[in-house]
Amino acid sequence: MSMPAGTHKLGPDHGTIAVRTSRTGAAAKAGHDLLLHVTAWSATVEVGEGSTPTSLVLDADARSLRVREGTGGLQALDDDDKENIEQTIDDEVLKRHGIVFRSTSVRSAGEGGRLSVEGELTLIGNARPIAFELMVDRDGKLSGNAVVKQSDWGIKPYSALFGALKVADEVEVIFDARLPD
Protein backbone atom coordinates (compact mmCIF):
# COMPACT_ATOMS: atom_id res chain seq x y z
CA MET A 1 0.00 0.00 0.00
CA SER A 2 1.49 3.29 -1.08
CA MET A 3 -0.58 6.40 -0.54
CA PRO A 4 0.77 9.92 -0.63
CA ALA A 5 0.76 11.71 2.72
CA GLY A 6 -1.75 14.48 3.09
CA THR A 7 -5.47 15.16 2.90
CA HIS A 8 -7.43 13.43 0.13
CA LYS A 9 -10.98 14.48 -0.75
CA LEU A 10 -13.30 11.92 -2.34
CA GLY A 11 -16.81 12.02 -3.75
CA PRO A 12 -19.07 10.34 -6.30
CA ASP A 13 -16.55 11.06 -9.09
CA HIS A 14 -14.07 8.81 -7.28
CA GLY A 15 -16.25 5.79 -6.52
CA THR A 16 -19.48 4.46 -5.07
CA ILE A 17 -21.20 3.93 -1.79
CA ALA A 18 -23.83 1.22 -2.16
CA VAL A 19 -26.40 -0.22 0.21
CA ARG A 20 -27.75 -3.77 -0.16
CA THR A 21 -31.00 -4.73 1.50
CA SER A 22 -32.73 -8.09 1.73
CA ARG A 23 -36.27 -9.09 2.63
CA THR A 24 -37.85 -11.28 5.26
CA GLY A 25 -41.29 -12.29 6.40
CA ALA A 26 -44.07 -14.57 5.23
CA ALA A 27 -44.56 -12.53 2.04
CA ALA A 28 -40.84 -12.07 1.27
CA LYS A 29 -41.34 -13.53 -2.23
CA ALA A 30 -43.43 -10.49 -3.12
CA GLY A 31 -40.65 -8.00 -2.30
CA HIS A 32 -37.25 -7.22 -3.76
CA ASP A 33 -33.68 -7.31 -2.54
CA LEU A 34 -32.38 -3.84 -3.38
CA LEU A 35 -29.10 -2.31 -4.45
CA LEU A 36 -29.09 1.42 -3.72
CA HIS A 37 -26.38 3.96 -4.50
CA VAL A 38 -25.68 7.06 -2.44
CA THR A 39 -25.28 9.70 -5.15
CA ALA A 40 -24.27 12.70 -2.99
CA TRP A 41 -21.40 12.12 -0.55
CA SER A 42 -17.97 13.40 0.38
CA ALA A 43 -15.13 11.78 2.26
CA THR A 44 -11.82 12.99 3.60
CA VAL A 45 -8.94 10.58 4.08
CA GLU A 46 -5.94 11.78 6.08
CA VAL A 47 -2.74 9.89 5.26
CA GLY A 48 0.28 10.08 7.54
CA GLU A 49 3.97 10.04 6.65
CA GLY A 50 3.98 6.23 6.73
CA SER A 51 1.59 6.08 3.73
CA THR A 52 -1.15 4.74 5.99
CA PRO A 53 -4.50 6.48 6.47
CA THR A 54 -4.85 7.96 9.94
CA SER A 55 -8.45 9.19 9.77
CA LEU A 56 -11.57 8.87 7.66
CA VAL A 57 -14.57 11.20 7.60
CA LEU A 58 -17.67 10.61 5.50
CA ASP A 59 -20.76 12.77 5.01
CA ALA A 60 -23.63 11.45 2.89
CA ASP A 61 -26.93 12.98 1.87
CA ALA A 62 -29.54 10.39 2.89
CA ARG A 63 -31.94 11.93 0.36
CA SER A 64 -29.61 10.88 -2.45
CA LEU A 65 -30.16 7.11 -2.22
CA ARG A 66 -31.22 5.81 -5.63
CA VAL A 67 -32.47 2.33 -6.48
CA ARG A 68 -30.08 0.77 -9.00
CA GLU A 69 -31.40 -2.77 -8.91
CA GLY A 70 -34.23 -4.83 -7.45
CA THR A 71 -33.93 -8.60 -7.59
CA GLY A 72 -36.53 -11.21 -6.73
CA GLY A 73 -40.12 -10.21 -6.28
CA LEU A 74 -43.20 -11.20 -8.21
CA GLN A 75 -42.60 -8.59 -10.90
CA ALA A 76 -39.77 -6.31 -11.99
CA LEU A 77 -39.46 -2.84 -10.48
CA ASP A 78 -40.49 -0.04 -12.82
CA ASP A 79 -39.47 3.62 -12.54
CA ASP A 80 -42.54 4.48 -10.43
CA ASP A 81 -41.71 1.65 -8.01
CA LYS A 82 -38.14 2.93 -7.68
CA GLU A 83 -39.35 6.48 -7.05
CA ASN A 84 -41.78 5.25 -4.39
CA ILE A 85 -39.02 3.28 -2.64
CA GLU A 86 -36.72 6.31 -2.69
CA GLN A 87 -39.49 8.52 -1.28
CA THR A 88 -40.24 5.99 1.47
CA ILE A 89 -36.56 5.90 2.45
CA ASP A 90 -36.53 9.71 2.59
CA ASP A 91 -39.77 10.10 4.53
CA GLU A 92 -40.07 7.03 6.74
CA VAL A 93 -36.70 5.32 7.14
CA LEU A 94 -33.92 7.96 7.18
CA LYS A 95 -36.31 10.86 7.73
CA ARG A 96 -34.18 13.25 5.64
CA HIS A 97 -31.31 13.22 8.15
CA GLY A 98 -27.70 13.28 7.05
CA ILE A 99 -25.43 10.27 7.39
CA VAL A 100 -22.08 10.93 9.08
CA PHE A 101 -19.12 8.70 9.89
CA ARG A 102 -16.08 9.89 11.86
CA SER A 103 -13.22 7.51 12.56
CA THR A 104 -11.74 7.31 16.03
CA SER A 105 -9.04 4.79 15.10
CA VAL A 106 -7.47 3.64 11.83
CA ARG A 107 -4.70 1.07 12.11
CA SER A 108 -3.00 -1.60 10.05
CA ALA A 109 -4.73 -4.97 10.29
CA GLY A 110 -1.94 -7.11 8.89
CA GLU A 111 -0.57 -7.83 5.45
CA GLY A 112 -1.94 -6.70 2.13
CA GLY A 113 -3.18 -3.22 2.92
CA ARG A 114 -5.92 -4.22 5.35
CA LEU A 115 -6.97 -1.51 7.77
CA SER A 116 -9.09 -1.81 10.87
CA VAL A 117 -11.37 1.22 11.13
CA GLU A 118 -13.35 2.16 14.22
CA GLY A 119 -15.55 5.19 14.59
CA GLU A 120 -18.95 6.67 15.13
CA LEU A 121 -21.80 6.44 12.62
CA THR A 122 -24.70 8.86 12.92
CA LEU A 123 -28.05 7.87 11.40
CA ILE A 124 -31.29 9.82 11.98
CA GLY A 125 -29.50 11.79 14.67
CA ASN A 126 -28.36 8.72 16.64
CA ALA A 127 -24.60 8.18 16.96
CA ARG A 128 -23.25 4.71 17.67
CA PRO A 129 -19.88 2.99 17.40
CA ILE A 130 -19.11 0.85 14.38
CA ALA A 131 -16.04 -1.07 13.20
CA PHE A 132 -15.12 -2.48 9.79
CA GLU A 133 -12.16 -3.36 7.63
CA LEU A 134 -10.97 -1.34 4.67
CA MET A 135 -8.63 -2.59 1.96
CA VAL A 136 -6.16 -0.22 0.34
CA ASP A 137 -4.32 -1.41 -2.76
CA ARG A 138 -1.10 -0.10 -4.31
CA ASP A 139 -3.02 2.13 -6.73
CA GLY A 140 -4.91 4.00 -3.99
CA LYS A 141 -8.14 2.03 -4.32
CA LEU A 142 -10.11 1.82 -1.07
CA SER A 143 -12.77 -0.84 -0.63
CA GLY A 144 -14.69 -2.27 2.25
CA ASN A 145 -18.07 -3.05 3.65
CA ALA A 146 -19.91 -2.80 6.93
CA VAL A 147 -23.09 -4.38 8.20
CA VAL A 148 -25.46 -1.91 9.81
CA LYS A 149 -28.27 -3.21 12.00
CA GLN A 150 -30.92 -0.53 11.53
CA SER A 151 -32.60 -1.05 14.91
CA ASP A 152 -29.30 -0.28 16.69
CA TRP A 153 -29.74 3.30 15.44
CA GLY A 154 -33.45 3.52 16.27
CA ILE A 155 -34.57 2.81 12.71
CA LYS A 156 -37.60 0.59 12.33
CA PRO A 157 -37.00 -1.51 9.20
CA TYR A 158 -39.63 -0.87 6.55
CA SER A 159 -42.53 -3.33 6.42
CA ALA A 160 -45.62 -3.76 4.27
CA LEU A 161 -48.60 -6.08 4.00
CA PHE A 162 -49.29 -5.80 7.73
CA GLY A 163 -45.72 -6.85 8.54
CA ALA A 164 -45.72 -9.94 6.31
CA LEU A 165 -43.07 -8.32 4.08
CA LYS A 166 -40.12 -6.65 5.81
CA VAL A 167 -36.73 -5.26 4.96
CA ALA A 168 -34.19 -7.24 6.98
CA ASP A 169 -32.82 -5.35 9.97
CA GLU A 170 -29.22 -5.79 8.77
CA VAL A 171 -28.17 -3.93 5.61
CA GLU A 172 -24.76 -4.03 3.98
CA VAL A 173 -22.94 -0.80 3.12
CA ILE A 174 -20.24 -1.16 0.43
CA PHE A 175 -17.57 1.46 -0.17
CA ASP A 176 -15.41 1.38 -3.31
CA ALA A 177 -13.35 4.41 -4.35
CA ARG A 178 -9.99 5.49 -5.70
CA LEU A 179 -7.90 8.35 -4.39
CA PRO A 180 -7.72 11.24 -6.86
CA ASP A 181 -4.47 11.59 -8.83
Please write the tens of the pLDDT for every residue from 22-67: 998 887 888 899 999 999 999 999 988 877 788 999 999 999 999 9
pLDDT score, position 47:
86
Burial class of residue 78 in the structure, from the number of CB atoms within 10 Å of its CB (0-12 exposed, 13-18 middle, 19+ buried): exposed
Residue 105 confidence (pLDDT)? 95
Residue 47 falls inside a structural domain: yes
In this prediction, residue 165 has a pLDDT band, given cuts at 50, 70 and 90, of confident
- DSSP one-letter code for 125: T
Binned at pLDDT 50, 70 and 90, residue 125 comes out as very high
> Is 13 contained in some domain?
yes
pLDDT on residue 87:
95
Q: Is position 121 within any domain?
A: yes
Model pLDDT, residue 80: 95
pLDDT, residue 2, reads 60
Q: Measure the CA–CA gap between 106 and 118, rounded to whole angstroms.
A: 7
Domain count, the chain: 1
Residue 97 structural domain? 6-178
| Residue 110 within any structural domain of the chain | yes
pLDDT top residue among 22 and 163:
22
Mean pLDDT of 83-107: 94
Between 80 and 136, residue with greater pLDDT = 80
3-state secondary structure of 156: coil
1 falls within a domain: no
Q: Give the domain CATH number at 103.
A: 2.40.128.110
Query: What pTM does this model have?
Result: 0.91
